[in-house]
Structure 1
Amino acid sequence: MKLDDQKLFKFLKENFSIEIDENYIAVPPQTLSVGSDLIIECEPISLNTKPQRRSQRRLNSFECKKLRSILYHSCRVQDSVVTETNYLKTLRPYPSAGGRHPLELLCLTEGMKDLENGLWYFDPYKITLCKLDAPVGFTEHIFSLSAKLLENPAPPVVLLSVAILERTLSRYKNGLGLIWRDTGNMFSTISGIAQQHELESCQLGFSFEFQNANILGLKKEDVWITGGLALGVAER
């Protein structure tokens, strides 16, 4: 797990038991192994979204390969460079103010067709889902809150954006608004890619739920949960 700062890694290490499951590498299924290299082949995805898209509130289970492709095309680190100020600046599919990319992604799953229930961390460098041992009651709380917000049964996947504030605020002193914009950029990109896989999404208002931060053991001034996104197959 390679990060430009150690805050998230320290938080995960202190609060979760991390287990890397190589069966859930978030890349398209078409791969070719050549010697010690792994060449990833994937078909290009058109970003022509539906002209009259509507948020869907009743979402059903789908295949893990679609989730893997969505994460690959929307959130992976494509390139990185160390700046003059010794900051690791990354290039990802969605834009971020100053290239700071303060967001990390947690993935909660329940009732997926071929993916274990639980809490996962998406490593954008290794392009891998890392299984986490969540605090007691955490996933249940998030899915219960999701069902309440959607006014429907809980979705099979909830994505949580976790912002490492220092990444943006170390350059932009009054940059909290930029972090909220980055959250919108990331979720909009994920939603657009999801549509190409015939999946629907609905944003969830987790940003100001202090109870969420309390369950995670996070301090508000260091790390925030800035939003949630439900994913699934819409019930027609």
Structure 2
Amino acid sequence: MWLDYPDPHPKDTVTPYEPICWPTGAVMDLAEPTDFAQAFGDVVAARRSNRTFGPLSLMDLSALLWYSCRSVAQRPSGLGFDLSFRPAPSAGAIHPIHVLACSQEQNIWQRYNPVRHQLIEVPDRLLPPQSAMTEISPALPIQKGTILWLAAEVGKTASKYENIASLIWRDAGALLAHLGLAASSLGLNFCPLGATGAKWGTALDETKLICGVGVALVGTPAIADVPGDIVKL
């Protein structure tokens, strides 16, 4: 059944919101990737959803997040938090979606800090990696890939807008699409999944709503990726 979301619109008076204070584990600084020259047309033509995933290096993950999610600039606002300008668009420059990464090899969730270009560990008692792996594996084996979870902090968008559901879903779609293009440009395999991870973050904060709005797998290409059955037009 199709859900007919009402049109969003700015509130007459904003409702200042204090963002969630994420539980902090180990912090890992990421290196700024080296620039690369690749024609945008080539990136678009090469983009595919691939279903085989080799291990993702820290350098590759760093580059993927840098070109997709990094905060390029910030501006103060009356919403209780800074607005953020990033490669992917977001309603009101709010960017309510956190990106978290997890692989079977590491078996921990790490949240991306877009301002400092860091990965910050989330304690597994609050966000168990195994539950996510168990949920998505029947649809697509994780293999040696890395799970990316898009977790929306709903209160950020709600501070400015009424009827926010479609705004957050559109933010999620734009971010997934941009991650896919960035992965293509880096020569990585990327596949959005049907799961949203809607319930994965329920233990993170009892008073604020963290809601999963998308999941993807990313990894290095495998030998089986040779597209022998694809006809180039």
Give the TM-score, by structure 2 length. 0.77
SS of the equivalent of 1:90 reads: strand
Distance 1:82 1:176 in 2: 24
Counterpart for residue 39 of structure 1: none
**Is the CA contact 1:147–1:155 (under 8 Å) kept in the aligned structure 2?**
no
Give how far 1:146 is off. 2.4
SS of the equivalent of 1:67 reads: helix
Counterpart for residue 189 of structure 2: 200
Go from structure 1 to structure 2 and tell me whether the alpha carbon gap of 1:73 and 1:54 turns closer, same or farther (over 3 Å shift).
closer
Give how far 1:55 is off. 1.9
Q: Which amino acid in 1 is paired with 2:49?
A: S
Distance 2:57 2:36 in 1: 18
| Runs of 4+ displaced beyond 4 Å | 84-87, 217-221
State the identity as a percent.
21
Q: Which amino acid in 1 is paired with 2:210?
A: V
SS of the equivalent of 1:149 reads: coil
Counterpart for residue 49 of structure 2: 55
**Is the CA contact 1:213–1:220 (under 8 Å) kept in the aligned structure 2?**
no
Distance 1:68 1:175 in 2: 30
Distance 1:196 1:105 in 2: 19
Counterpart for residue 58 of structure 2: 64
Q: Which amino acid in 2 is paired with 1:20?
A: V
Give how far 1:158 is off. 0.7
Aligned pairs, number: 207
**Is the CA contact 1:70–1:193 (under 8 Å) kept in the aligned structure 2?**
yes
* Greater strand content: 1
SS of the equivalent of 2:120 reads: strand
Go from structure 1 to structure 2 and tell me whether the alpha carbon gap of 1:157 and 1:208 turns closer, same or farther (over 3 Å shift).
closer
Give how far 1:217 is off. 4.4
Give the TM-score, by structure 1 length. 0.76
Q: Which amino acid in 1 is paired with 2:125?
A: P
* Greater helix content: 1
Distance 1:72 1:206 in 2: 24
**Is the CA contact 2:155–2:208 (under 8 Å) kept in the aligned structure 1?**
no
User: Unpaired runs of 5+ in structure 2?
Assistant: 1-15, 226-233
Determine which of 91, 103, 117 is the counterpart of 1:127: 117
1:107 to 2:112 alignment: no
| Pairwise CA RMSD | 2.7
**Is the CA contact 1:47–1:192 (under 8 Å) kept in the aligned structure 2?**
no
Go from structure 1 to structure 2 and tell me whether the alpha carbon gap of 1:155 and 1:142 turns closer, same or farther (over 3 Å shift).
farther
